[in-house]
Amino acid sequence: SKSSSSTETSSSVESESSSESSSESTSSVQPSVKYPALQKYAGKTYYAVDRDSAEVPDMFPTSFTITSDTEAITVDGKQELIRNVTSDSGFIALTGEMGHSMGTGLSFEFRPLGGSDSDAVEVLNQGQRLAYSTTMPE
């Protein structure tokens, strides 16, 4: 009986927070998110859709994940703190703190593909583009 009561409590807390988020600004509900522009993408792993089709596949990671607090990005298993995020002309650009295989520092631009509910993004690196999706490639 103890376990069932604890699950009840958590579900009621969830429903409260979801109703709150519609009326209040998201920052008050989610104070742990450092970069709100990344919130929609945080906590998911994005996989390169057809990396071999890129002119220079090495310019693109096979996968990347933004941590749920949006403070770091994991690119091909290497985690890097995010130093700066800019959102411009539909693209979101991340700048990392340390050197990385995508150039001298991590400079990572992506934009959503498809509709607002789509889990696909397009990564831009030095003029090259590649689609990523949260679906694991075959």
Q: Where exactly are the structural domains of the chain?
A: 1-31, 32-133
Task: Report the mean per-residue pLDDT for the chain.
Answer: 76
pLDDT over 90 percentage in the chain? 36
Note the pLDDT tens digit of each residue in 65-87: 999 999 999 988 889 899 899 98
pLDDT at 5: 43
Does the pLDDT at position 102 exceed 50? no
If pLDDT is split at 50, 70 and 90, which confidence band does 116 have?
low
Beta strands in the chain (DSSP E): 45-48, 63-66, 72-75, 78-88, 91-96, 107-113, 120-125, 128-133
**Choice between 114 and 129, residue whose per-residue pLDDT is larger:** 129
The class that CATH gives domain 32-133 is: mainly beta
